Structure 1
Amino acid sequence: MRAARLHEYDEHLNVQLQLEDVPLPKITKPGDVIVRIGAAGLCRTDLHIIEGVWKDIQDPQRTLLPYILGHENAGWVEEVGPGVTSVKVGDPVICHPLRSCGVCLGCRRGEDMYCEHGSFPGLNCDGGFAEYMLTNERALIKLNPNVAPVDVAPLADAGITAYRVAKKAARKLNPGQYCVILGVGGLGHIALQSVRELCGARIIAIDRSEAARQLARNLGAHYVLDGSDTIVQEVKELTHGGAHVVIDFVGELGAEQVSWQMLRQGGTHFVVGYGGAVHVPTVHMIITEIAIEGSLVGNYVELVELMELNAEGRVKLHGQQYRLDQINQAIDDFKNRRIAGRAVIVP
C-alpha cells in the first residue's frame, strides 16, 4: 500500500514525509480491525512530531522511524479479527485515536486517554497517512448513513479535543458570561460551535488570520478580535473586567502568557495548545483565584456525542482536502497558516 512515512526529526520542519510502498497491516489479535482510510486529518501535533517535540516521550530509542503519521482517521472496515462483533466489513467508521485495552482502571472509568496499555496510531505506531491502518474494535464508531468519512475524519482528535474542553467550559459558564476562544483554527472552530451549542455564553473569538476571523463570524461568534498587542485591554473593556473562561488553542508564541491575563477574578484558563510555558505570579493566582487547567483529547463517549451533533448539522467541520501525494504541500500550507479550518488528507 502507499503511505507517507517520517524518516527523521527536524525542529525546523525542513524534512518531508516520504511517499512509499509498504506492507499492508495484518490482523494479529481477535479484536483487531483493518480500516481502509477514507480521510485523515493533519494536526499541529503532526508538526510537533516532525519537529521532534515528542521523540523522547514516544520514541526515546528512535526505534519507530521510519513510521506513518496520522491520528485523525475515518474510513471503511476492510478486515476484522475473529473476536470482532460490533462492526463488519464495509461499515463506514471513525476511529477514536487510542487503541485502548478496556480492562485498566483508566478504561473502566471511561477515560480512554488514560489507558495504561493503549497504543496511539500516528504517535507511537503506524497511523493513517496511508491507504490502510490497523486499529481495534474498541476504537470504532459507526458513522451515520448520511455522513462521509472525508467530512468528519479530523473530529477523531481535533474535534473531541475541542469538544471536551467546550464541555468543561460550559459547566463554568452561565448565559451572558464571556468565553474567549484564542485561535480559531482546526480545533478552535469546533470549540466555538460546541460552546455555542452547550451554553448561552457570549463568545469572543481571537485570531490573527483574517480567514479565521471570517470563519468565526460565520460560525456565530459574538465578537471577533485580531489579537493585537493590546488584546488583554480590549478583552477587559469588552467584558467589563475580564472573561470568565479563556480557551487557549495556541499554547505557545506568547499566547499562553496573555490568556490568563484576560481573566476576571475567579476565571479559568484552559490550556489546549502546547509548546510554550505558563508563568503566573503566585500572588496573582491567590488574589484573583484564577484557575489554570489542562485539557486532553476527549474519550470515546465524547466522540459519540460529537458525532451526534455533527450528524444533526449543529457542529460542522470546515476543511481543505489534499491527496496523499500532496501531504508535504498540506504540511507547508498548515505551517504557513494558509488553511482555514482543517487540512484533510484523502488517499
Structure 2
Amino acid sequence: MKAAVLHEFDEKLTAKEFVKFEDVTDPKISRPMDVIVRIGGAGVCRTDLHIVEGIWRSKVDVKLPYIMGHENAGWVEAIGPGVEGVKVGDSVICHPLVTSGHCLACRRGNDMHALDSAFPGINANGGYAQYLLTGQRSLIKLPKSLAPKDVAPYTDAGLTAYRAAKKASRHLLPGEYVAVIGAGGLGHIGIQVLAALCAAEIVVIDRADQSLELAKKCGAHHVVKADGNEVEAVLGLTGGRGAEAVIDFVGEGDAIAKGLSITANGGYYYIVGYGGKIDIPTIDMITSEKTIVGNLVGTYAELVELMALADRGLVELHTKEYRLSQANDALHDLHHGRIHGRAVLIP
C-alpha cells in the first residue's frame, strides 16, 4: 500500500519534506479482534507536527520509520475471526485508542488511560496510508448522513474539544461566560459543542480575523482579537469578574498566563493545547480557588455522542482536503497557519 512515512525527526520544522510518500507492507490481521480499515480520510493534527519535532519521544517508544495519523475514518476492509458487530464494507469512524477492554480503566470506559493499548499514529502505525490496523472495540458505525472524509478529524480534534466543552457545560449557567482561546481546528468544534450543550455566553479569542469570522459562524456571542489587549476586553465583557470557564486550545506562548488571568475566582481553566508550561504561585491557587483541568482525547461513549450531534447538524467540521501524496503540503500549511479548520488526507 501507499503511505506517507516519517523517517527522521526535525526539531525546527525546517525540512522541505517531513514525510516520504512510498510503498509499504500492507497491515495484516493477527488477532481475533483485529480489523483492517480502508482509509477514507485521515486528519492532520498539530500533534503530528509535535511528533515530527520529536516532542513525543519522551512519552512513547516509537522506532522510525513509522506512519503518523491518529484521526481516522473509512470502511471495514477485513475482520478477524472473533469480530462481531461490524462487517466488511461498513463505514466507520475509529476511536483513536485500540485496547483489550480488560483493565479497570477500560471497564470504566476510560480507554485513553488503559494499561495495555495501542494509539495508531502515536505509538503504532497510523492512518497516513491506504489501510489501518485497528480493533473492533475502537469502531463506531457511521450514519448514512456522514462520510468518512468529512468526519475523520472528530476522532481526536473533535473528541478532545467535545470532552472539554462537555465538562464545562455541566457547570455553566445562563448569564455566565465561557472563554475559548483559539478558534482553529479544535476551537471551532468546541464552540459549536458549547452552543449545543449550554446557555452561557461564548467569548472567543484568536489573533486571526479569519478564525474570528469562523467563530461567529460557529455560535460565538463575542469575539476578541488577540492583540495584547484581550485580557482587558474579556474582563470588560464580564463586568470585571472573568469567565466562569476558560477552554485553552492553544496551550503555549502567553495563552496560558492570559487564560488563567481571565478565569474568574472559583472558575475552571481547561487546558487542551500543549507545548507550554503552567506556572502559578500556590498562594494564587488558594486565594482564587481556580481549578485547572487537563483533557486527554475522550471516551468511546463521548465519540458516539459527538457523532449524534454531527448527524443532527449541530456540529460541522470545516475541512480542507489533500491527497495522501500531498501530506507534506498539508503539514506545512498547518505549520504556517494557512489552515482555518482541519486538514484531511484522502488516499
With normalisation by structure 1, the TM-score equals: 0.98
After TM superposition, list the pairs within 5 Å mapping 1:189-228 onto structure 2: 189-228=188-227
Matched, 1:69 2:71: no
Which position in structure 2 is the counterpart of 1:17?
A: 19
Cα distance in 1, alignment partners of residues 187 and 147 from structure 2: 22
Deviations 1:31-67 (A, max 9, x none): 00000000000011101000000012212xxx52000
Cα distance in 2, alignment partners of residues 13 and 282 from structure 1: 36
- Contact 1:30-1:83 at 8 Å conserved across structures: yes
Which position in structure 1 is the counterpart of 2:184?
A: 185
Cα distance in 2, alignment partners of residues 14 and 24 from structure 1: 30
After TM superposition, list the pairs within 5 Å mapping 1:127-166 onto structure 2: 127-166=126-165
Letter in 2 for 1:339: I
Matched, 1:38 2:40: yes
After TM superposition, list the pairs within 5 Å mapping 1:308-327 onto structure 2: 308-327=308-327
Matched, 1:117 2:116: yes
Cα distance in 2, alignment partners of residues 146 and 27 from structure 1: 30
Deviations 1:241-286 (A, max 9, x none): 2111100000001111110000111111100100000111222111
Which position in structure 1 is the counterpart of 2:30?
A: 28
Which position in structure 2 is the counterpart of 1:55?
A: 57
After TM superposition, list the pairs within 5 Å mapping 1:229-240 onto structure 2: 229-240=228-239
Deviations 1:280-327 (A, max 9, x none): 122211111111111110110000000010011001111100111111
Letter in 2 for 1:43: C
The SS at the match of 1:256 is: helix
Cα distance in 1, alignment partners of residues 130 and 39 from structure 2: 5
The 4+ residue runs of structure 1 with deviation greater than 4 A are none
Cα distance in 1, alignment partners of residues 106 and 262 from structure 2: 36
Deviations 1:70-92 (A, max 9, x none): 00000000000000011000000
Q: State the shift of 1:14 in Å.
A: 2.5
Which position in structure 1 is the counterpart of 2:253?
A: 253
Which position in structure 2 is the counterpart of 1:176?
A: 175
The SS at the match of 1:84 is: coil
Deviations 1:212-233 (A, max 9, x none): 1110011120000111212111
Unpaired runs of 5+ residues, structure 2, are none
Letter in 2 for 1:282: T
Letter in 2 for 1:235: V
- Contact 1:67-1:125 at 8 Å conserved across structures: yes
Deviations 1:170-224 (A, max 9, x none): 1120012100000011111111000111110100011111111110011120000
The SS at the match of 2:84 is: coil
Deviations 1:75-131 (A, max 9, x none): 000000000011000000000000011000000111110111010000001000000
The SS at the match of 1:152 is: helix
Q: Give the alignment's Cα RMSD to 1 decimal.
A: 0.8
The SS at the match of 1:215 is: helix
Cα distance in 2, alignment partners of residues 265 and 50 from structure 1: 38
Which position in structure 2 is the counterpart of 1:343?
A: 343
- Contact 1:74-1:95 at 8 Å conserved across structures: yes
Letter in 2 for 1:140: L
Cα distance in 2, alignment partners of residues 338 and 56 from structure 1: 29
The alignment-based identity, stated in percent, is 55
Cα distance in 2, alignment partners of residues 265 and 160 from structure 1: 28
Q: State the shift of 1:11 in Å.
A: 1.2
Letter in 2 for 1:14: T
Letter in 1 for 2:57: K
- Contact 1:121-1:128 at 8 Å conserved across structures: yes
Cα distance in 1, alignment partners of residues 189 and 25 from structure 2: 35
